[in-house]
A and B are shown apart, each in its own frame.
Chain A
Amino acid sequence: MANCPKKVQNSKPSSVLIDPVYSSMIALLIIVMACVEICDAVTVVDVYRLVQYDIGGVPFGSRLASLNHHAGSSLFSSSSGAAADLSRTVLILPVRELNLTFIKEYIAQRKPLGGLLLLLPPAFSPNADSVGGADHDSVNDLMKEVLVELEQLLIHANIPYPVYFGFEDDGIDTVLADVKKNDATGQLATATTGGYKLVVSVPEPKKVASPTIANIQGWLPGLKADGDSNQLPTIAIVASYDTFGAAPALSVGSDSNGSGVVALLEIARLFSILYSNPKTRGRYNLLFGLTSGGPYNYNGTYKWLRSLDQRQRETIDYAICLNSIGSFNNDLWIHVSKPPENAYIKQIFEGFSNVAEELGLKVGLKHKKINISNTRFLKYSRWPGSTEQFSRLRVTAATLSELSFAPELLQSTGGLSDNRHFVDEASISRRVKLVAESLARHIYDLKGKDIDIFADNSSLAVNPSYVRSWLDLLSTTPRVAPFLSKTDPIIMALKKELADHTIEVNVQQEVLDGMFTFYDSTTGRLHIYQVASVTFDLLLLLVLGSYLIVLFSFLVITTRGLDDLISLFRRPPSRKVKTA
């Protein structure tokens, strides 16, 4: 406190003076005044906005960002069965207690609402304390399904009011309990009845100008025999690293496709050890590709492939795409676009099955017939994996994934429910071993021989802590491509990591397909104010007015006498009498 007076004196000499009782309050308030924003709310929470985007000019998602309305807690008022007028109310709905049918109807009928705040269980926060693993239980699995459905509903709807996601915590739980209590009395909170006010003040959302997608590739050249002028064949390993979800700031995509990225990096690391010694360098080049634009029909993969030199592309024997290989279940599927009778496909599949048998895994084959010439059709279906994009350029490709069906556009892209809890790093390690072993046997021509190249406890073993640390990093980094800048830290980190394991690393920047337009403003801070109603203020004014009048009369009576008080009111008439 000895320092306070001097500081305080410089800012407001006349009004700040020390008094034993009020000094600390004054000092605190001066500091507060010096801040740009005076935060006097009951609770301040970080909230994440629903994505806002257009596909070919058709708007989707939440179209507004700023919020300034009273809080409500249910779609119906308790007094009447019909829905109340909620156009100036923000509903706080915990997802745990959500009734999806009501929400669907509400949104489908485009009923007006001031705003929507959905509260997610804290387990789904990217910064949740407990790490995944065997920690998942049936409650969370049920929540996951609900979230997936909710997410699909919200991203395909055009919602004209702000929708925000927040996490349940003590502060907001008490506020919600209070709001529910108030609502139970049958009145909705408005300006005249008091209650809570929710404010998010962010600027109008603007279009993200020319969103870029960055494809990172790394090249591990094989061993060319002396005098051999032919190009070595290449095997490509591809994974897309970006995500898309209902809340872009929460889309960490641990499984889709964090698991694929981690697997690719680990495979790159293992093969770089093998390829560092000319004696163990294989006669295949290895091309590692981390592509972006995955959720948008593998736009990035296509552009990346096209940017490759024609001759380089022709040397690609086949490509393996890794997509969502981190879940707890043991099923694995290889999706191909060429018919299974094709010799190459047979070879690849046999190689994988043999290794899988030895490891105790099960691999199935899925073939999806696609019409390559019909490019319009391609726009609305994505799978098998990015093999479509490869097929367009006549490259044989297979996608390894735990999903047995083909997701639609913007499905299974790493949304709200895809976080660290639902990913098993042991599973990823097993599958890395599967892919690496199969590739190695193909490269070194070891078919039929019982050799374990990447044996456990050897120098070439799959490193579980490497897998875990990259998975943890990716599970705390939202990676929605339009919101990543050209030199975003995660892109630089992936580039650096790939550069550690491969020889030539290139980052190719492309512009995202013009059909998609995104709008910014993905997070905000929600201020919850407890407000008094206008009636309270009027009442207070009345009370104060009467108090002052009473005080006035009291003082007049005691100091000047009662006659004076009466004469105050009688003077005008008496003057008239005098002049008359």
Chain B
Amino acid sequence: MTVFHFFNCAILTFGPHAVYYSATPLSEYDTLGTSIKAAVVYLITSLVKLVCLATFLNVSESDRFDPYQELLKALIGFIDVAGLYFALTQLTHRNISQNHKFQAVGLGWAFADSVLHRLAPLWVGARGLEFTWDYILQGLEANANLVLSISLAALGSLMWLRKNKPKTLIPIIYVCAGIVATMPSITSYLRLGLEWHLPKVVGFELFTSLVMAFISWQLYSACQRPSN
């Protein structure tokens, strides 16, 4: 019965990635290589972040929200953005259109994130006899993360790959990118500073990810019109 629960949580956490890949034209254009490269870049980025955090961050015993520490964490979080930049621009991809490139990169990024951060807890915890809602909430978080990663990749590709953008939209693009990039800090502030419970935080994440996805979709299609 408990392996059953593990199976359920696993398909909640990793299912959407597979579904996304197969449902969209990504599968037709065989962009798997791009996704895998993006996943590898994510790994390297995380290693770099690890080293930076270990060097610069103080170990605080309490669970309070320390603004200075969080600011440092946010700054280090921008390494994420740098990694994404690298994945989008520097890697040589096969001849894929912009449209599919950012989706493939976003997908690979989100999948690597889910595997790294959620597979181990799932394997250890969800197979026990004790039942908690944590793993289901974690799966929902993974879904939100997928949407956010794809939005960030979209905004990133707009920022760095598209040369002719309408002037009015540029600041909006940067602002949205900033918000999406600092999402981890925002959620940790909510969890530690305002002391929201996990279901509330997950709900917030899902909501904001959908909102940001919608906004980035609109921005992307707006930027796409002039070139068409």
- A residues contacting B by CB (< 8 A) are 1-3, 5-6, 12, 14-23, 25-26, 29-30, 32-33, 38, 40-42, 191, 197, 199, 529-532, 534, 537, 540-541, 544, 547-548, 551-556, 559-560
Contact = CB atoms under 8 A, between A and B. Distances in A.
A32 B76 CA distance: 28
A20 B75 CA distance: 11
Given A20-B188, A530-B130, A537-B5, A552 B54 contact: no
B12 A544 contact: yes
Given A21-B187, A531-B131, A559-B24, A26 B121 contact: yes
A40 B4 contact: no
B119 interface: yes
A559 B11 CA distance: 23
A537 B124 contact: no
A418 to B, nearest CB: 37
B25 A559 contact: yes
Query: Binding site of B, secondary structure by majority: helix, strand, loop or mixed?
Result: helix
Contacts of A556: 23-24
A458 to B, nearest CB: 59
B19 A551 contact: yes
Nearest to A15: B120
B116 A17 contact: yes
Given A22-B117, A26-B117, A540-B136, 14 more contacts: A2-B54, A17-B43, A17-B50, A17-B117, A18-B50, A19-B46, A20-B76, A25-B121, A29-B124, A40-B128, A197-B129, A529-B131, A532-B131, A548-B19
Given A532-B131, A537-B8, A29 B188 contact: no
B184 interface: yes
15 contacts: A2-B54, A5-B53, A15-B116, A16-B120, A18-B53, A197-B129, A529-B128, A529-B131, A540-B5, A541-B4, A544-B11, A551-B19, A553-B23, A559-B25, A560-B25
Nearest to B5: A537
Contacts of A555: 19-20, 23-24
Nearest to A541: B8
Contacts of A548: 11, 15-16, 19
Interface in B24-39: 24-25
A14 B112 CA distance: 11
A466 to B, nearest CB: 47
Contacts of B49: 17-19
B128 to A, nearest CB: 4
A461 to B, nearest CB: 55
Interface in B184-228: 184-185, 187-188, 191
Contact of A529 (B7, B50, B59, B130): B130
Contacts of B121: 25-26, 29
B130 A40 contact: yes
Contacts of A25: 121
Interface centre among A15, A19, A529, by most B CB within 10 Å?
Answer: A19
B205 to A, nearest CB: 10
Given A25-B121, A29-B124, A38-B128, A6 B54 contact: yes
Given A531-B1, A548-B19, A33 B124 contact: yes
Nearest to A194: B131
A35 to B, nearest CB: 11
A16 B121 CA distance: 11
Contact of A32 (B11, B15, B124): B124
B129 A20 contact: no
Interface centre among B23, B125, B184, by most A CB within 10 Å?
Answer: B23
B7 to A, nearest CB: 8
Given A20-B185, A555-B19, A41 B124 contact: no
Nearest to B61: A1
A30 B187 CA distance: 23
B25 to A, nearest CB: 6
Contacts of A199: 129
Contact of B58 (A2, A18, A191): A2
B106 interface: no
A282 to B, nearest CB: 68
A17 B46 contact: yes
Nearest to B15: A548
B188 to A, nearest CB: 5
A5 B25 CA distance: 40
A2 B59 contact: yes
A540 B140 CA distance: 13
A333 to B, nearest CB: 55
B47 interface: yes
Nearest to B129: A529
B77 interface: yes
B188 A3 contact: no
Nearest to B11: A544
Given A5-B50, A12-B120, A534-B1, A560 B24 contact: yes
A32 B124 CA distance: 9
B57 interface: yes
A537 B10 CA distance: 13
A206 B49 CA distance: 55
Nearest to B18: A548
A551 B50 contact: no
Contacts of B77: 20
Interface centre among B8, B43, B124, B184, by most A CB within 10 Å?
Answer: B8
B217 to A, nearest CB: 9
B134 to A, nearest CB: 10
A3 B117 CA distance: 19
Contacts of A560: 24-25
